[in-house]
Each structure stands twice: as C-alpha cells, then as structure tokens.
Structure 1
Amino acid sequence: MSPSRFLGLPLALTLLAGGCVHKGDIDVENGVGITAVRSACPRVEVAAGTGDITLFDPPAAQTADAIDVVAVITNVRGACNDAADPIASTVSFDVDARRRDAGPARDLTLPFFLTVVQGGNAVVAKRVGHVALHFDAGQLRAHAAGSAGATVSRAAATLPDDVRRRLTEKRKAGQEDAAIDPLTRPEVRSAVLRATFEALVGFQLTQDQLKYNATR
C-alpha cells in the first residue's frame, strides 16, 4: 500500500498516453531503461490490518474457543474512468465468512469502509457501508459481494507539466544525467507523491478489533 513501491521504479515514468507502452517494457529507442505506466486512477488495495474481522461469543471474550465468526475481504478490484473529471472509481470486493457452529440459518451484517488517501497518508474522503452475509441452515460458510464508489479530482491526480517533462525526457548513454533517476530529486518525488491516490477498503473495526488484529 505504500507509495514507496511506486516511487522506487527505476529510471523512467512513461505517462499513460497510448496503448503501446506497458509496465516493465524496456525502452531501448529512448535509452531510458525500464518504463512504468502511470494512470490518474487511484490504486485499489485493502487497508493494512483491516482485511479481516473476528466476532466473539460472548463479545467480551477474545480466546480461540470464543470465536464466533471470522470474515475476510478478498478479490478486491477497481473500475475507473480516468477520462472524466472528477475521476470516478468503483471498488468491488468479496467477503468470505466462516462461523463456529453449523446451526440454524443466520443473517449477519458487517460494516466496511472505503477511504481515499493522497500521498500515502492524507485521508481526503471516507465512506462507510455494510455488506450482508447469509448462512444457510447447517452451513459453516457464507459469501457476499460488496462495492463502493469514490471520486478524485483530475487536477490533483495530474502531474505538473514541468515534472512530466523531467520524467519523460530522453536520456542517452554518456550524457551527464543519463544515470540519474528523476525520482531521486526531492521536488520530482514530492510532486509524484502528491498526485498519487489510493482507494483503500477494509472492515470498519472497533478499537478492540483493531487491537486483536494487530496482536494475535
């Protein structure tokens, strides 16, 4: 989830402008090394520590024999229209749950959140929703699908022209700056970070649930 994974890509950032350049391509013609395609759409991921939830019975207990239901967010995916302004993104995901006892039919509603983060740590929007699970009689497992939408300002997700030029300029072997990664320059790195957004999904946990996930 950290933008450092994005910022660590070497040598060249090729902005999304056509259909012929792909992440990981080697740009031999321009001599700039490995390219990385950047989109204005937010990256979609599960927020750290919130991808699963454990319910206890009785609620005050937090021992293995008191675990009632465990649910996990899986298969997170995003659909985005980066040509619009604002940029609209829909995050979809699945929830798989298992209960302790295969008893009578049971319905369970779990809260989740979708938050938009700018630059790795600034929360610019948050939405809370609910996903409904149904356990059939005699069944231990349940499955449900959830989704939520988010928007990002196109201007905020667009790199300034001077930064774009510095990232995409041709650099030939033997030139003074040929071996210098533009992203090592603080002003370039900061601009890319500010224009980087993430759409993070997770369960809306209580403080006790967060603590359980962090210490179990």
Structure 2
Amino acid sequence: MAQLVDELTVRGELDAAALEWARSHQAVHGGTLDSALLELDLIDEDALLSSLESYYELPAGRPADATGADPDAAKRVPRSLSEALAMCPVRIADGKLVALVEQSLSDRWVEELRFAGLGVKQLVVPAHYIDLARAQVYGPPCPERARELERRLAKRRQAAAIGHVVAGIQHAPTLAAATVLALDFAECLVSFSCFLVSNGRTVRVGAVSGG
C-alpha cells in the first residue's frame, strides 16, 4: 500500500494532510486505506481506479463487475480461498476466470489456479468492491460499511458532468429552473444542502456533509 500511496502522491491525487486524515480514520474504524480515502471523499473513485491500474499494471474493475457478479463463480473458487487471497471470482469469460483482486495475485497462486484448469484474468479494485462481489457470489449479506460506501458512490456516479450543469444553469429560462438544476446536481454529491437566493438573480449554494 505504501507504493500505491506514492503513486497517488506523484499523480497529485493525495497530499500529506489528506493521507494523515485517512490513516487516522483507518486507525479508528479499521478497514483498508483505499476505503478510508473514499469514505472521507479524499479521492475521486475514477482517480483511485486509474492509480490502481497504473501501479499494479492490471486492468481495473468497474462497479458493475462487483454488483453484477455471477453466483456460479462460487463453484470454481471456495470462499475460504477467496478470502485468503483477498480476491473474488465474478464470472467466466473467454474460458478464463475473471477475478477481482486488491493487488496482483502471486505467480505461485496464478500457477496453482492454472494447474486446476483455471486461467485467470485479474481486475484490480478497491477493497469494498470485493465485499460487494462476495455477497453476490457466496450469498451472505454484504458488510454494512461496504454497502453504505457503495450507496454514496452510486449517487455520485449519477451526477451530471459539472460543465453541463453550469451551462444548463446559465441558460435556464427562470431563476426557479436554475435552482432546480443546482439542487438536482447537489443532491448527488452532498447529504445536506442549503440554497440562498439573493437579489432575485443570483443563486448561492452552501453545502455541508459529504454525500
């Protein structure tokens, strides 16, 4: 994880203050550093996926890989092995087992799986994706913490691009229409927001608490 932190720092996605905050959060609540960064809104989900992909030199998984995992994958890899390897099988594609991983599987385990007749395509992902996938594949409920993080991230994924929102507000026919556009956008990003209208023409938006 230290090397991944270096990757995020070099890319300008993380600074010392944010890292200290995330590590303090992790020390109190447990879990992985990537989960802490996402929970505290210290890094964008796409930026984290891009950094994981670059550092591990593996393709990154997407949310749909976790939430749409195939339960039949459990027939190929028992849960105990999935947990031991910090991975989760999600489907068979092109004759290979597609697995979500927190980091690259060791060459030894890749060979072990190949010897068992399972070529493996690894998709590197944040830790909570694997929790989500295991709930789909093996059946037990997903941990509440992972479900809550996914709920928040899903809201953010639904938000329109900020450029489109700004353009829509600029060209809105009325102040009320502009306010609705701003409110719809903010609802995807924050859990509470307050809108103030001043002088009949300007919409000022104040928001507290991450989404």
TM score, norm. by length of structure 1: 0.23
Q: Choose between structure 1 and 2: higher strand proportion.
A: 1
TM score, norm. by length of structure 2: 0.23
Higher RCO (CA < 8 A, seq sep 6+): 1
